[in-house]
Amino acid sequence: MRLSSVRLITGLSCLTFAAAAWHVGSHSSSTFAAQAQTSKPAQASQLHAIKATIPDAKPLPEPKPIAAPGTEIYTAKRGEAIPTIARHYLSKTSYLTSSELASAIRAVNHKSDTSNFLKANENIVIPGIIPAPVTEKTIPIPKDFEVRAIYLTGIMAGSDHGLRIIRHWREVGGNAVVFDIKDSDGSVTIPFEHPLLGEHKVYIHDVAKLVRFLHQENMHAIARIAIFRDERLVVAHPELAVQSRMNKQAWRENGKLVWTDPSQPKVQDYNIALAKYVAQLGADEIQFDYVRFPAEGDQKDAQFVYQNASPAAAQTAEASANTNSGDSPSGDSPCGDGRLGRPADAKQGGTTTTPDAKQGGPSTAPCQAAASASPSSSPEGTGCDSPGRKSRVSTKKGAESRRDATADAPKPCTAKATPRGPQRTDVITGFLKKAYAEIHPTGALFSLDVFGVMAWQRPVDLAHTGQDIVGMAHYCDVLSPMIYPSHFFGMDNIAHPGDEPAHFIGESMDRFELITKGSGVVIRPWLQAFHWRTKTYSPEYIKVQVETAKEKGGIGFLFWNAANDYSKPYEAMPEMKAADAKEGSKDKAKFFRGDELPVPTVKASLTAEPVPSKQ
């Protein structure tokens, strides 16, 4: 081929390839641009979806306030009330009652006195928080310490009103309080676990805390325990009651199932365990009441454990104790006539004022006996002319008289059948010996309430109650005879004994001082602080009793009022204190020396201390 033809063919081929390349390149660029344009919305859509799934951020909770020392912060639930919170926290605080704590909560949180309900998640300050449960120790004092006390029921002692009574009594010159641990119906007022007790209503939730409060008030704490009259126990455990010889069931005193068997070891151990427990909680004194056998009802039908050891001898003794069970012409009716007991039934709540037989009511059920007591229970010998047997009641005219106010002619010394085997007096004295050995090592004083008429030491009363004052005096520190003037009705030819306090307080004290002479026991009487069977009850009536008791050798006094109403003693105390101050010396004091606890303590206060509240 010619050269020119080759060149022509080569040029045409280049043009053809260039056209093809241009066509292909133009199409590829359009496709890529289209792909790029369509991918942008997809990417934007994808990013938008991711942003939508991110949750909104919540605000951080406010930090909980920090509790100051002695406080705690509580976060309330919706609708929760301050009284409810106070009840929940009471045991963790130094406060005695939930209402006191509730008032303190309102104060430190700047709430009104009527404020109760809280908002949800509201933080409130709880004041008075203690690191551990309160423990208290007995404050030891000599047994001749001059106690000036009032009595409070268990439910009163554990209440706001009771705290006000205590404070008021301290303000007017009192230095002690007697409060119920176990009353005569058997109700135990404190938390206490024992196989014979079971579940029970508690009024004093923290004994140690109450004792500490009394100590902070410079007051002597006396825990009263009613011993053998225990309705609750015999209802739950009739096998521990006095038994009936006739029907082999629990014996009843005038239809009432109320008496445990004082000689039953389980009953004795139960009461001693309770007493020891309370002493270890810091009580300064343990006081036993109803330390006796039942004095009324069908005594011949009553069967006791102690008689099982020597049935024949015991039966002889009991038969002799029930001889002439009616009222005798001499007027020597026994203890069941109501002269010996409390003035009124001190039920829980302290509101009962109706007298009954066991509490010194008007019952005259006869239970007289003509038996003599065992030689060991006779004061100063057993002869007919023994000082413990003689009647030494003086009438207003000064003549010697018997209890029925008839002339006191010398009695012929007739032969008496000496009961064989153990006696009721032996049981009571033996029980006290055992109790004294358990209680005294705790450091607490041990005192006994006894019938006022036991100072007369009549065989009939010894045989029924078993309260041999001479024997009992060896196993206690203090004897507290219940010498309420209104209870000596039918004596000394005085129609209204309740209106003659000087006579009956004086005569009773003379007799108790005589029959306990040389024993070392202190006589601290129960005095009348109620208006039953007297028209002259007044502050002056109180002053006469206190003055007479002191003049006759008594050291201190206890005021009894079942309703815990001490309005008359409140008035009389400052007047007596002022009169004694004029004498210028304790030795010349007309009414009382004014003893105080040996170690002064800080004044107690249950009001809220200033505590920083939440910001």
pLDDT tens for each residue of 83-96: 999 999 999 999 99
Q: How far is the C-alpha of 210 from the C-alpha of 206, rounded, in Å?
A: 6
Instruction: Classify residue 21 as left (phi > 0), alpha (psi -120 to 50) or beta.
Output: alpha
Determine how β-strand 557-560 pairs with β-strand 148-152.
parallel
Element (H, E) at 463: helix 459-465
Determine how β-strand 148-152 pairs with β-strand 176-182.
parallel
Task: Express each pLDDT in 466-485 by its tens digit.
Answer: 999 999 999 999 999 999 99
CATH class assigned to 148-588: alpha beta
Q: How far is the C-alpha of 450 from the C-alpha of 447, rounded, in Å?
A: 10
Query: How confident is the model at residue 223, as a pLDDT?
Result: 98
Single-letter code of the amino acid located at 419: P
Query: How confident is the model at residue 65, as a pLDDT?
Result: 78
Query: How confident is the model at residue 403, as a pLDDT?
Result: 29
**Please, which residues bridge with residue 445 across strands?**
285
Q: How far is the C-alpha of 446 from the C-alpha of 478, rounded, in Å?
A: 7
Q: How far is the C-alpha of 10 from the C-alpha of 14, rounded, in Å?
A: 6
Residue ranges covered by each domain of the chain: 72-126, 148-588
Query: How confident is the model at residue 16, as a pLDDT?
Result: 65
Coarse DSSP helix, strand, coil percentages of the chain, rounded to the nearest 5 percent: 40, 10, 50
Q: How far is the C-alpha of 294 from the C-alpha of 464, rounded, in Å?
A: 7
Query: How confident is the model at residue 613, as a pLDDT?
Result: 40
Residue carrying structure tokens 């930090």: 63
Indicate the DSSP class of residue 473.
Answer: G
The residue ranges of the chain whose pLDDT is under 50 are 24, 28-29, 31-47, 50, 324-331, 336-340, 344-415, 601-615
User: Is residue 592 a contact partner of residue 580, using CB atoms and an 8 Å limit?
Assistant: yes
| Residues contacting 294, CB < 8 A, separation 6+ | 229, 242, 253, 259, 302, 464
Query: How confident is the model at residue 388, as a pLDDT?
Result: 32
pTM: predicted TM-score of the whole model, two decimal places: 0.76
Pick from 228, 135, 227, 217: which is nearest to 175 by CA? 217
